[in-house]
Amino acid sequence: MRALAPATLLACGALYCTVSRTDVLPDDRADALATHYSGGGQDINGISFLVRKKVGDHVSLSYNHLEDIVSGASIDVRTSGASPYREKRTQDGLTGEFLYGKTTYSLGVTHSYEPDYRSNTANFGISQSMFGDLTTVSMTYRRTWNDVYKMECLLRDDALHYPCVEKIHDPAFGKKDMDERSYGVGLTQILTRNSIISANYEVITDQGWLSNPYREILYAEPGVGLGYGLAPEIDPNTRTSNALGLDYKYYLPWKAAVDLQYRYFEDTWQIRSHTAQIGYTQPWHNWTFDGSVRFYTQTRASFYSDLFSSPTQQNFMSRNRELSAFNEYTIGAGASYQFHVPYATWINKSTANFRIDHFIFDYKDFRDALLIDPGAGVEAGAEPLYKVQINVMQMFLSVWY
Amino acid sequence: MSLSRRIAGLAAALMLLAQLAACAPIQPWVKPYERERLADPIMAFDPDPVSSAYMEHVFEVRSAARGGNGAAGGGCGCN
């Protein structure tokens, strides 16, 4: 929970069922993915499996399972004085797609479990191809129910790297509810024999406990300790966001593809963001290479501040760096090798894939509170801005059958 | 001509146009046999759903933005 909000993962997992093609069901395939995330004091190792199989001519079923193990201590954990921790999350999802004429219906459910976060999602989608399959329009609806807990340490051993030996749900915090609804519409359009474009608009609305139970604000306390105090963040109980994304692909004459993406986002917390990405894919013999560059920028939430004047400065207060203003740059590269599996005649195609992405986060109003040192003249609010670099590696095998 | 009459005239013209369009269905300007390149796997919007879902997760938990990235997307009907 402290590291990765599973509700967002559920949203991603729901993609398996809400992405509907035109009058063609998705290919039968199986994928096994291993991931490694490192940076900002955290390591996250994960695995994920996806199996998809047609049943007859009109039904396709898919099952996805993933596990993540988060370990370490982010800057938020260290600033609050908490210890490094280790936590496991699992998620399972089942999806059915039903093809009827030119219409594809999808229905899916997902369950995610963490010690301090339980999440259940149901989603429904419908897509319709028209104009000789040049155009596909789609609509999606997703509903998520989340239960939020806060863990507290019952048994400690400070000699260990992860000192908390046994954790329980904090009875004072209890259980908080958070519900999410998503409404999406999409259009995919073939433009020419070499180009295709997709546009998606999505409204997501949240209600309930939207604060992070572990994130704390900093408020000024001149002359006391390091010159600042800590208090729990208080986020509003509702949030509604709008996002419009565009994706354009062009087939180049030498058998390669260019991918251009843009997304505009805004929400009722006064956050605005722009995302732009360019990608290039080049096949070569049995290999397929691809590279991408992504730029992301966002403004801060209206109730965000790096340092508040007091713990009661305003009714909503957050120092959650995901709600601060920052720029983020990502450069990624991947390679895929297609190989033949001997004797397995039922396998049509198989690939081994590797991908690495490097992230640079450049925060504009989130400072590195660990560098506050009044004795050296670095007062709270004058410490350097925080920057972090993250590497994400993925290795996966895919087979089509 | 009053504004209401202009609007009524415009609405009538649009209805007539729609009826005419119904009589002559839109012809695909890219024929099915011209979609070989679009059907190439390198032109897929989401060629590796497990990988892209994971990356989307990383982006979403590290930033405020969410949605609008293909949850309602589609393919090209190329096969």
pLDDT of residue A306 exceeding 60: yes
Q: Which of A80-84, A156-160, B8-12, B48-52 shows the lowest mean pLDDT across its residues?
A: B8-12
Closest Cβ–Cβ partner in B34, B57, B77 for A193: B34
Q: What 3-state class would DSSP assign to A61?
A: strand
Chain B residues inside the 8 Å CB shell of A12: 53-54, 56-57, 60
Range of A248's domain?
A: 6-400
Return the pLDDT at B16. 67
Question: Which residues are CB-contacts of A158 (< 8 A; sequence separation ≥ 6)?
Answer: none
**Residue A41 belongs to a domain:** yes
Q: What 3-state class would DSSP assign to B59?
A: helix
- Rounded-to-integer distance, Cα A14 and Cα A187, Å: 18
Most confident region among A13-17, A55-59, A76-80 by mean pLDDT: A55-59
Return the pLDDT at B11. 66
**Residue A1 belongs to a domain:** no
**Residue A235 belongs to a domain:** yes
Report residue B18's pLDDT band, with 50, 70 and 90 as the boundaries: low
Return the pLDDT at A86. 87
Structural domain count, chain A: 1
Angle (CA) A373-A378-A380 rounded to 5° is 85
- Mean pLDDT for A359-363 is 97
Structure tokens at B7: 């609007």
Q: Contact, A268 vs A237, CB < 8 A?
A: no
**How would you write A316-363 as a 3-class SS string?**
CEECCHHHCCEEEEEEEEEEEEEECCCCCCCCCEEEEEEEEEEEEEEE
ipTM computed for the complex: 0.90
Nearest Cα of chain B lies from the Cα of A130 at a distance, in angstroms, of 9
Chain B residues inside the 8 Å CB shell of A241: 65-67
Of B33, B58, B60, B79, which to mutate for an interface test with A (greatest number of A Cβ within 10 Å)? B58
Structure tokens at A225: 């300790």
pLDDT of residue A219 exceeding 50: yes
Chain B residues inside the 8 Å CB shell of A49: 50
Cβ contact (<8 Å) for B74 and A241? no
Return the pLDDT at B25. 62
Return the pLDDT at A17. 34
Report residue B15's pLDDT band, with 50, 70 and 90 as the boundaries: low
Nearest Cα of chain B lies from the Cα of A160 at a distance, in angstroms, of 29
Cβ contact (<8 Å) for A263 and B46? no
- Mean pLDDT for A363-379 is 92
Q: Contact, A66 vs A48, CB < 8 A?
A: yes
- Rounded-to-integer distance, Cα A354 and Cα A288, Å: 11
- Rounded-to-integer distance, Cα A296 and Cα A326, Å: 8
Return the pLDDT at B14. 60
Report residue A79's pLDDT band, with 50, 70 and 90 as the boundaries: confident
Structure tokens at A300: 């801060």
Q: Report the phi/psi class of residue A339: left, alpha or beta, with left for phi > 0 and alpha for psi in -120 to 50.
A: beta
Structure tokens at A344: 């397995």
Cβ contact (<8 Å) for A396 and B50? yes
CATH number at residue A156: 2.40.160
- Rounded-to-integer distance, Cα A250 and Cα A304, Å: 40
- What residue in A sits closest to B56 (Cα-Cα)? A12
Question: Which residues are CB-contacts of A102 (< 8 A; sequence separation ≥ 6)?
Answer: A22, A23, A128, A129, A130, A133
CA atoms within 13 A on the CB side of A108: 34
- Mean pLDDT for A245-257 is 96
Structure tokens at A374: 């009044």
pLDDT of residue A150 exceeding 60: yes
pLDDT of residue A105 exceeding 70: yes
**Residue A254 belongs to a domain:** yes
Of A4, A9, A16, A19, which to mutate for an interface test with B (greatest number of B Cβ within 10 Å)? A19
- Mean pLDDT for B21-36 is 75
Q: Contact, A221 vs B8, CB < 8 A?
A: no
Nearest Cα of chain B lies from the Cα of A228 at a distance, in angstroms, of 25
Long-range pairs for A171-174: beta carbons < 8 A, 24 or more residues apart: A173/A149, A173/A213, A174/A149
Of A16, A25, A133, A266, which to mutate for an interface test with B (greatest number of B Cβ within 10 Å)? A133
Cβ contact (<8 Å) for A194 and B58? no
Q: What residue type is assigned to position A307 of the chain? A: L
Structure tokens at A271: 């956050």
pLDDT of residue B73 exceeding 50: no
Cβ contact (<8 Å) for B28 and A296? no
Averaged pLDDT score across all residues of chain A: 91
- Rounded-to-integer distance, Cα B17 and Cα A389, Å: 57
Q: Contact, A90 vs A70, CB < 8 A?
A: no
Return the pLDDT at B22. 57
What's the pLDDT tens digit per position in A324-337?
999 999 999 999 99
- Rounded-to-integer distance, Cα A190 and Cα A196, Å: 4
pLDDT of residue B77 exceeding 50: no
Closest Cβ–Cβ partner in B34, B37, B69 for A263: B69
Question: What residues does A117 pair with on adjacent strands?
Answer: A114, A148
Neighbours of A229 (CB within 10 A): 17
**Residue A65 belongs to a domain:** yes
Chain B residues inside the 8 Å CB shell of A394: 51, 54-55
- Rounded-to-integer distance, Cα A107 and Cα A74, Å: 37
Averaged pLDDT score across all residues of chain B: 74
